[in-house]
Amino acid sequence: MEPIISPWLVYLISVVDNFRTVCTYSFVFSLMALVIYLIGLLFTINYEDDFKYWISWWKPVKYKVFILSCICSLFILFIPTRNVLIAMVVADKATNDSVNSLIQSGKDIKNTIKQDIIDLLMVGKEKQEEK
C-alpha cells in the first residue's frame, strides 16, 4: 500500500523549516554586525588614526555582511513556513472526490455507531423486561 504523503516530503518540510530558521538567525546577526559597524564609526570619527583603521578593517567585511543580510532576508520572505507547506500539501491532496468519500465514510460510521447504540439499548430493555 502506497502512502498518501511521501515520508520524504515530511522530511523536506522539516529541512526547509530549519533552513528558514538559519536564515533568520543569519539575518539578525548580520544586522547586529552592521549596527556595531555604525556605532564604531560614530565613536572613532573624531580620532583620525582610529577612524582610518576602523574603515580599512571593516571595508571588505561590511559589503559581505550587507549582501548576506539581503540574501537572508529574501530567503525569509520567499521560503514558506512549515504551516504553509503543510497547508500546500493538504490542498494538493484534497479533491472533491476525496472530500466526498470522507463525508460518505463519516456518514456510514455515524449510522453504524447509531445502530450499535440502538441495539445495545434494545438488549438492555429486553433484559429489564425479563426481570
Note the pLDDT of residue 3: 66
Q: Contact, 5 vs 88, CB < 8 A?
A: no
Q: Biggest alpha carbon distance in the chain?
A: 108
Q: What is the pLDDT of residues 95-111, one digit of tens each?
A: 777 778 888 888 889 98
Top-confidence residue, 128 or 66? 66
Beta-carbon contacts of 17 under 8 Å, excluding residues fewer than 6 positions away, are: 81, 82, 85
Q: Contact, 79 vs 23, CB < 8 A?
A: yes
Label residue 48 exposed, middle or buried (CB < 10 Å: 0-12, 13-18, 19+). Answer: exposed
The DSSP H or E segment spanning 75 is helix 48-78
Q: How confident is the model over 43-56, as a mean pLDDT?
A: 72
Total Cβ atoms within 10 A of residue 27: 19
Tell me how far apart the alpha carbons of residues 66 and 83 are, in angstroms, rounded to a whole number. Answer: 29
Q: How confident is the model over 75-100, as a mean pLDDT?
A: 84
